[in-house]
A and B are shown apart, each in its own frame.
Chain A
Amino acid sequence: MGRNAAIKGFDPAIGHTMDLFDEKEGHLSVILEILKSPWVSRGSDLLAPEDAGIGKRRGETIAVAWDDVRRVPAAFEWHARAYRVDEIAQLWAVERYWWDPRRRISYRCWRVIARGGTYDLAYDRLERRWMLLGVQD
């Protein structure tokens, strides 16, 4: 299963127990607060500016189900496995090197919580495709 296997495999729907929290909402609010906390720095933030916010880089094309009402990703599929988005932790945009067609980046990124893990999804506005940019530490 590799690293973070416990997080990736965590799914209360199939009966995994929550050691610390009684219910999913309580779990999420703690994670969100931690992510927002100004006093906590992530290792990924120490990367180069263009990689800011991206932990373990992936850059894989994935399929994403879009919630038209909330205008956020609702679910995504990665390695033949479906991930329902439980919460949107963060939204950011990247627009760089517009003057150089070979290097240009134009993403809209969502940091989502799904199956207990944090995933960075990006919509590439130039290629019109979804990508899994990284799995957060």
Chain B
Amino acid sequence: MGDSFVHLHVHSRFSFGDGAADLDELIARAGELEMPALALTDHQGLYGALRFYQKALAAGIRPILGAEVVIDAAGFMGPEADLPPEQRLILPAPVGSGRAQGYGGWHVTLLVRDIEGYRNLCRLLARAHVRSPEGPSIISVRDLSRCAGGLIGLSGCTRSEVSLAVLKGDVTRARTAVRRLRGCFEPGNFYVEVQHDLTPEAPRRIAGLVALAESEDIPIVATNNVHYVRGEQFRLHDVLASAGARMALPGPYERPNAELYFKSAAEMRALFRNLPQACDATLEIAERCQLDLGLGEFHFPSADVPRGETPYSVLSKLAWRGLEERYRPVTPEAVRRLQHELAIIQDLGFPEYFLIVKEIVDHARSRGIRYSGRGSAGDSIVTHVLGITDADPIRHDLLFERFLNPERKQMPDIDVDFDSARRDEVIKFIYDRFGHDHVAMVATVNTMTARSAVRTVGRSFGYPITEVNALSRHLPWVSARKIKEVLETYPECRNHPLRDPRYKMVVEIAEQLDHCPMHLGTHLGGFIITREPIDSWTPLQWAAKGVVVSQYDKDDVEALGLVKMDILGLRIHSAISDTVEIARARVGSEEVPEPFDLEPDDPRVYEMLQRADTVGMFQLESSGQRNLSQRLKAERFEDIIAQISLFRPGPLEAEMITPFIRRRHGLEPVIVPHSGMERPLRDTWGVIVYQEQVLRVSQAVAGFDLAEADSLRRAMTKGRSREEMARIKTHFVERAVERGVSFQTAEEVFRQLEGFAAYGFNKAHAACFAVVSYASAWLKTYYPAEFAASIMNNEPMGFYTPRHVLNDARAHGITILVPHVNDSEARYIVERNGTAIRVGLKDVHSMNNRLLEAVVRERIVRPFRDLADFLRRTGAEPGPAESLIRIGALDGLGVTELDRPPTRDEMIALLPELKAVIAREGKAGDDVLCLAPASTRPAEDPTHVSGWSVARRLSAELEYLGLTLTCHPLELSSADFAARGVTSASRLRELPDGTQVTVCGVRERAQTPRTRSGKRTCFLTLEDATGLLDVVVFEDVLNRVGDVIVKHRCYLVTGKLQNNTERGLAIIANDVQPYIVRSAGEPVRLRRGVPSGPMGPSLGGAGAPEEESWISAQQAAEDPTAYGVHDAL
């Protein structure tokens, strides 16, 4: 057997809390040490198995899949607690994450020998995890014996029953356990595992295990229970273990040393100098593990196909029928294209996939559930005629080869967005149609960023939560490996507590946790559907949200060749459906057409887009999009597609927007190096914006067919090396020259393709989105009140806060009516013939469903008379009742001795007494309670029914509703603004380009997107009483004012106005100063201070200005109870 060795017991970071080894590092180390094979045996699952399998194969190392599982006691029947105390073994600490956590049992290592073993391991894990949503995930010995085919069992680590019994000296139990375990496996497939972890007890344990194995005639095998790749990473492992168990260091396992690293063969053989057969056994086992997962094959669920038909024949019939419905008249081009696509789909073997997607969308359509297909699926006429996507691929010149490339057999991916309010109905259909045993949700692996890494380390170091909060908050959203860099270079981190030298180790370890898997999450809408029972393909477990989820993420599922369907919920669909419903209820069904079926040519809609009046519009509302709207001046549907495509990370990074706009407005000539590029680039003025254009240009200039052209595009996009690029270029130029193109022209065309191929956007995706964008724009144009109310009813959605959505509606002349118990519903409603929105009660702090129902139910009987009447009939609890009083929902009810309704202060003062009286008398009596009004402070504003000043009403609205209904907070500073010469948002458009201005606004968003130059530019979206302000803070100014932007919420900005067609409307900041709105000398809060959770107002929340929340870690550490920390961003 030589001097080699194979590690058969290895934990990666996918052991979630008990492993710090990165998969790439593990494989690289195994390669360095020339190990022929490597196993991965994470706790309780195969989370990282698929990616490990692929990476190891690519590195020329044989992957051995496996898992370390928790099993029932095998050494005796029954639970450990049934034994007399002196015979009990100490049970290991819990392992695994979330609901797959295993405890109350013993560790056993399972290795997969072949595909049967893989399926059995998946089944075993699924059975253990899914058996019950609560309780530990333990495999029973009986299950193990049933599903051990194709598996090799190792008796387990130092926390196995056998090891612990040996160390305790309980020979009988050790012997019984080892016999029962051996009995589970096929003969010759069970080994006694020995580990020399360099602890004082290791020699005794090994000697005992060897003696036991010899007496039972079981072979032994040596492992090192690898938990990290290099010795120095033990700290990382301890931190992860502590964080996983929510404990301070040393964590739950209390490992005594740093010896669980990836040791070389020489080190392992030195440790087992006297037991060479234990090391040889690793090679022998590795040789026997020959798993082939058959990656590259596809496994489709079965579609409904009538007898005598094939999936293709059914698909073909449906497609031709659909063609007649979609294209009137049917054109020869459409026929040719459909024939072409159907032939490719048949060749690739995908007809069943299309039929399944159609089945799902047909169900949604039959139930009136709004949906839209998106992504590259929009490139296909088949998906269009089947009713899956709405954008016409012929009209928009979308290319099928971008979706399905016959040269590359890849699983097609059709994403469909459904009305998020009714998505559950679609999901139920999928489970009912395919069976619960054949459907599971796709997992996501949540990984650490800078903030979560710092939190993980801070908590494992035992810092108080306030200190952890102070350390992690206010860090930018960057990857963890950049923490040191951002602390040193980002202006907003100038005074960050992590810069204190005593946190040096925190930063150092946090950086090493970059991208470390934290826990298994659930994909937003990805479902796996299989023909065979799903647990023969993937291990399953309960997700935190109570659904059964695969242990694999979407890439793993794709690698396995399983069908993944994205059933995503899109709230704009819900908002559009709601708008149509409310509008039809007001004006009649025939007056409001189906917005997705509209011809996208309404000039009023385009006027609105050109004004950048796009708040609420799908994909067109962000500050960047609004700026682009002003510059682009969309006039037709193609412009909307371009607008959606241009404001994307790729095109932005490639700075495509400027040449696009300049050429569109005739500021620079449209020149293309080859006449063949004119037609494909006609709609985008010679700029390559779409991926489809790369294909068309390659076809026109170099004569590539579209499949070949798509392969070229992919090669130019993904991880291209310089050599590879040179090879592609030579190929392209040669082909072009063969067609008579000059060498220089061919080189220039390739240079342009090379520059843009990596950044271009998928036009089909943009076209599918544009259909929804146009529908939302049309509804906002013609039914603004219904549209705004529907958006409010479906929050959270979109780019802006609900507060701004309402302010925008107000700016469109819609009256915003305050909530009132005698008028409001739970949801926002439209009143006064479409000119007013009544705020709903559902967003009021501490409101609950029971009370909402009671309010509406009782009001139908008769309106509420006064506070006592309201309390008695609804049974409102003091908390929600006080919230309703504070926001004015009970204003004007009842009459006091002074012959006026009670003020809010008086009602709040009366509330406890009324509740007590009602509790005493019960609900039966309907007498009017005669209570003298409690003495309260005098009304601040006797002219208003509430008795409260504007500032106080505003503060209460923000605090209890998160909205500003009385007025915009900055209206309170109008005198101060006049004195300072502050310009309002609505006036900016009138001022000439280059004017020096001072503006003031409350922050809606702050973004620092990536730029090609690597410089940081902050785009601030501010809001004043008249509208939105876009402020650009370039790096030199940002370095000066970065901390002001992070720490404060409202700013006074001075800068130069940019107001031209080429660049749009924005303020280029010279200086940004904090601004505190004051009323009668007191600061007015500008953000909601009441968390929606059950804990009530946070410490220091009510009325505290933003800047008070910025505390240092030192202050928090000194007195953790004295400060409440709020999210600043």
Write the chain A residue with the least CB distance to B461.
A99
A47-97 residues with Cβ-Cβ distance < 8 A to B are: 49-50, 52-53, 90-97
Q: How far is the CB of A90 from chain B (nearest CB, A)?
A: 6
A38 within 8 A of B: yes
A35 & B256 in contact (Cβ 8 Å cutoff): no
Q: Does A41 contact B (CB under 8 A)?
A: yes
Kindly supply a per-residue 1/0 record for chain B positions 151-185, scoring 1 wherever the CB is within 8 Å of any chain A CB and 0 otherwise: 00000000000000011010100000000000000
Interchain CB contact under 8 A, A95 and B204: no
Q: Are A45 and B201 in contact (CB under 8 A)?
A: yes
Give the residue name and chain of the A residue nearest to B248 (CB): A99
Given A38-B166, A91-B198, 14 further pairs, Cβ under 8 A: A35-B203, A36-B203, A38-B211, A39-B169, A49-B256, A50-B256, A92-B200, A92-B257, A93-B199, A93-B257, A94-B257, A95-B234, A95-B258, A98-B238
Residue on B with the closest CB to A111? B200
Sorting the interface of chain B by its residue count into under 10, 10 to 19, 20 to 34 or 35 or more gives 20 to 34
Count of A-B residue pairs with CB < 8 Å: 62
CA distance A117 to B588 in the complex (A): 102
Contacts of B203 in A (CB 8 A): 35-36, 90
Q: Which residues of A contact B (CB under 8 A)?
A: 35-39, 41, 45, 49-50, 52-53, 90-99, 109
In the complex, B1020 has a CB within 8 A of chain A:
no
Query: How far does the Cβ of B857 sit from chain A's closest Cβ, in whole Å?
Result: 59
Q: Which residues of A contact B171 (CB under 8 A)?
A: 39
A98 touching B199 in the complex, CB below 8 Å, given contacts A38-B166, A38-B207: no
Cβ of B208 under 8 Å from chain A:
yes
Chain B residues near A52: list those with CB within 8 A.
199-201, 256
Alpha-carbon gap, A98 to B204, bound state (A): 27
Do A94 and B256 form a contact, CB below 8 Å, given A38-B167, A99-B249, A99-B461? yes
> Can you name 20 A-B residue pairings with CB atoms under 8 Å?
A36-B203, A36-B204, A38-B166, A38-B211, A39-B169, A41-B169, A49-B254, A50-B256, A52-B199, A52-B200, A52-B201, A52-B256, A53-B200, A91-B198, A93-B198, A95-B234, A96-B257, A99-B249, A99-B505, A109-B200
Q: Which residues of B contact A95 (CB under 8 A)?
A: 234, 256-258
| Contact residues in B for A109 (Cβ distance below 8 Å) | 200
Give the distance in Å from the alpha carbon of A97 to the alpha carbon of B250 in the complex: 7
The A-contacting residues of B in range 194-215, CB under 8 angstroms, are: 198-205, 207-208, 211
State the Cβ distance, B931 to closest chain A Cβ, in Å.
Answer: 61
Asked, given contacts A45-B201, A91-B198, whether A36 binds B207 with beta carbons under 8 Å apart, the answer is: yes
B810 interface residue (CB < 8 Å to A) = no
- Of B200, B201, B205, most buried by chain A (CB within 10 Å of CB) is B200
Q: Residues of B contacting A50 with CB < 8 Å?
A: 256
Which residues of chain A have C-beta atoms less than 8 A from B808's C-beta?
none
**B235 contacts which chain A residues (CB < 8 A)?**
98-99
Q: Say whether B205 contacts A45, CB under 8 Å.
A: no
Which residues from A are CB-within-8-Å of B167? 38
Report the nearest B residue to A101, measured CB to CB: B505
Rounded to whole angstroms, the CA-CA distance of A37 and B210 in the bound complex is 11
User: What's the nearest-Cβ distance from chain A to residue B49, in Å?
Assistant: 30
Contact flags B808-841 to A (C-beta < 8 A → 1, else 0): 0000000000000000000000000000000000
B259 within 8 A of partner (CB): yes
Measured between alpha carbons, how far is A20 from B122 in the docked complex, in Å?
A: 59
B259 CB to nearest A CB, Å: 6
**Of the residues A35, A38, A90, A99, contact of B169 by C-beta under 8 Å:** A38
Bound Cα distance from A93 to B257, whole angstroms: 6
In angstroms, Cα B855 to Cα A101, docked, is 62
Residues of B with C-beta under 8 A to A53: 200-201
Q: Which residues in B have their C-beta under 8 angstroms from that of A41? A: 169
Which of B198, B234, B250, B505 has most A Cβ within 10 Å?
B198
A38 in contact with B258 (CB, 8 Å): no
In the complex, A39 Cα to B167 Cα: how many Å?
8
B211: nearest residue on chain A (CB-CB)? A38
Give Cα A37 to B249, complex, Å: 33
Q: Which of A45, A93, A96 contacts B259 (CB under 8 A)?
A: A93
- Inter-chain CA distance A94–B256, complex, in Å, is 6
> Would you call the interface of chain A mostly helix, strand, loop, or mixed?
mixed
Q: Give the contacting residue for A38; candidates B205, B234, B254; CB below 8 A.
A: B205
Bound-state CA distance A95–B250 (Å) is 11
- Candidates B200, B207, B254, B258; contact of A45 at CB < 8 Å: B200
Given A36-B207, A37-B207, the answer on whether A92 and B461 have CB atoms closer than 8 Å is no
- Which residues on A sit within 8 Å (CB–CB) of B250? 96-97
Query: Which residues in chain B, 234-261, are within 8 Å of chain A measured between CB atoms?
Result: 234-235, 238, 249-250, 254, 256-259
Cα distance, A72 to B837, chains bound together (Å): 84
Residues 247-291 of chain B, each 1 if its beta carbon lies under 8 Å from chain A, else 0:
001100010111100000000000000000000000000000000
Q: Residue of A at shortest CB range from B231?
A: A95
Q: Select one of B202, B205, B238, B258 contacting A92, CB under 8 A.
A: B202
Q: Which residues of A contact B461 (CB under 8 A)?
A: 99
| Chain A residue contacts of B258, Cβ below 8 A | 93, 95
A36 to chain B, nearest CB (A): 4
Residues of B near A96 (CB, < 8 A) are 250, 256-257
Closest A residue to B171 by beta carbon equals: A39
Q: Which B-chain residue is minimally distant from A52 (CB atoms)?
A: B200
Q: Which residue of A lies closest to B270 (CB)?
A: A71
B241 vs chain A, min Cβ distance (A)? 13
Q: Nearest chain-A residue to B200 (Cβ)? A: A53
Complex CA–CA separation, A36 to B256 (angstroms) = 20
- Knowing A92-B199, A96-B250, A98-B238 are in contact, say whether A37-B257 is a contact too (CB < 8 A): no
Q: Which of B680-719 contact A (CB under 8 A)?
A: none
Instruction: Give the interface centre of A38, A99, A109 by most chain B CB atoms within 10 Å.
Output: A38
Distance in angstroms between the alpha carbons of A49 and B235 in the assembled complex:
19
Q: How near does chain A come to B983, taking the closest CB pair, in angstroms?
A: 55
- Of A45, A52, A90, A97, the most chain B CB neighbours within 10 A belong to A90
Tell me which of A37, A38, A90 contacts B200 (CB under 8 A): A90
- Kindly list chain B residues whose C-beta atoms are within 8 Å of the C-beta of A98: 234-235, 238
Closest-by-CB residue of A relative to B169 is A39
Q: How far is the CB of A54 from chain B (nearest CB, A)?
A: 8
Residue of A nearest to B256 (CB): A94
Tell me which residues across on chain A come within 8 A of B169, comparing CB atoms.
38-39, 41
Q: Which residues of B lie under 8 Å from residue A91 when comparing CB positions?
A: 198
A127–B505 CA distance with the chains assembled, in angstroms: 20
Instruction: Indicate whether A92 sits within 8 Å of B207 (C-beta atoms), given known contacts A39-B169, A52-B256, A99-B249.
Output: no
A67 to B238, CA, bound (A): 33
- Report the minimal beta-carbon distance from B508 to chain A, rounded to whole angstroms: 11
Q: Closest CB-CB distance, A30 to chain B, in whole Å? A: 14
Which residues of chain B come closer than 8 Å to A39, judged between CB atoms? 169, 171, 208
Shortest A65–chain B CB gap in Å is 21
How many angstroms from the CA of A110 to the CA of B211 in the assembled complex? 24
Question: Complex: how many Å from CA A99 to CA B167?
Answer: 30
Scoring B201, B204, B207 by chain A CB atoms within 10 A of each residue's CB, the highest score goes to: B204
Which 9 residue pairs of A and B lie closest in terms of their CB atoms, listed nearest first?
A53-B200, A38-B208, A93-B257, A95-B257, A95-B258, A36-B207, A93-B198, A38-B204, A92-B200
Cβ of A93 to closest chain B Cβ, rounded Å = 4
Cα(A72)–Cα(B171), bound, Å: 34
Q: Which residues of B contact A36 (CB under 8 A)?
A: 203-204, 207
A90 to B200, alpha carbons, bound, how many Å? 8
Write the nearest CB–CB distance from A120 to chain B, whole angstroms. Answer: 9
Distance A35 CA – B207 CA, assembled complex (angstroms): 10
Chain A residues whose C-beta falls within 8 Å of the C-beta of B505 in the assembled complex: 99
Distance of A5 from chain B, by nearest CB (Å): 26
Write out the residue numbers on chain A whose beta carbons fall within 8 Å of the beta carbon of B249.
99
Q: Which of chain A's residues have a CB closer than 8 A to the CB of B211?
A: 38
Complex Cα spacing A38 to B238, Å: 29
**Bound Cα distance A36, B461 (Å):** 37
With a CB–CB cut-off of 8 A, which chain B residues contact A92?
198-200, 202, 257
Q: How far is the CA of A129 from the CA of B395 in the complex (A)?
A: 81
Interface contact A37-B198, CB-CB below 8 Å: no
Cα of A43 to Cα of B1048 in the assembled complex, Å = 64
| Min distance, Cβ A18 to any Cβ of chain B, angstroms | 25
